[in-house]
Amino acid sequence: MKLVLRIGSHGLTDDKIIHTLASAVSDLVFTGHQVTIVHGGSDQLPAQVSSSSSHHHAGCAQHSTIDQCDAANKRLITIMRLAGLQALGLCGADANLAQTRKSPLENGTAAPLEIVSVNPFWLRIIAAHQGVSVLASVALGPDGKFHVVDTDQLASVCAVHWKADVLIFLIRSEGIKTPDGLTLRWLNSREIEALSSSSALPSRLLSKLTACQNALRHGVSRTRLLPFSHIESLSMFYSARIDAGTEVVMSEVEGGKQK
């Protein structure tokens, strides 16, 4: 089975979380599964000194955020390698992995770049040799400059084009809550629009739900929001029931449209 894991910024700075993730990924890989990890940056990590003057960054803020992505990538691959994994750090610009385009204007302001597609060729090659691709959310824009892109969208598009079986978002919270504070174990994808039109959920969770919905509509079998506190259950994802977090499932209506 093929899994795309999207790790949130909080997990990038917590030693326990990141080492538990490495252990779980190691178990998955050595039992025959294939894994790609997608991440953004974190302002809690020290930025790496840029080593190439050929990186045409789009402004100082972008430059700083790209350096944070670089730092997170190096941290992840180091810990993955300590866990016995062959981890390769990549970004969307490497080998033309991620194709981008300008998003429509939002309230007269240019929106972030949109991920159009992800070329899965090198992801397949790496995974076929028991390697783990660690993909940072940085890509080249149509202007020939490096840009930070939407990490949730990148993970979703990566899962679709790599033909992953499951897309998992590793998050700080326990999942999607009901009004009375209980965690929803299952969320029908058609309910996401209703959640989007309300202010009940923070934008970071709505972004992940939208990414799950996109993945399901384009052939990914399973999507889940899994709390950091249950990362160790990743290694049992296909062999045992996991009650933690929220699994987003395709509605019958959308499933019918997909066919």
pLDDT in tens, 173-205: 988 887 778 888 998 878 887 776 666 678 888
Band of pLDDT at residue 106, cut at 50, 70 and 90 = low
Residue with tokens 């430059």: 63
Q: Which architecture characterizes domain 2-258 according to CATH?
A: 3-Layer(aba) Sandwich (3.40)
Per residue, the 3-state secondary structure of 154-186, as one string, reads HHHHHHHHCCCCEEEEEECCCCCECCCCCECCE
Cβ atoms 126, 148 nearer than 8 A: no
CA 225 to chain centre: 11
Residue with tokens 């987003």: 248
- Which tops the pLDDT comparison, 107 or 11? 11
How many Cα neighbours within 13 Å face the side chain of 74?
11
| Identity of residue 45 | L
Q: At 93, phi and psi to the nearest 5?
A: -80, -20
How many Cα neighbours within 13 Å face the side chain of 255?
10
pLDDT at 52: 42
Q: At 216, phi and psi to the nearest 5?
A: -60, -40
Instruction: Give the mean pLDDT of the chain.
Output: 86
pLDDT at 255: 55
219/166 Cα distance (integer angstroms): 10
205/165 Cα distance (integer angstroms): 21
Domain ranges of the chain: 2-258
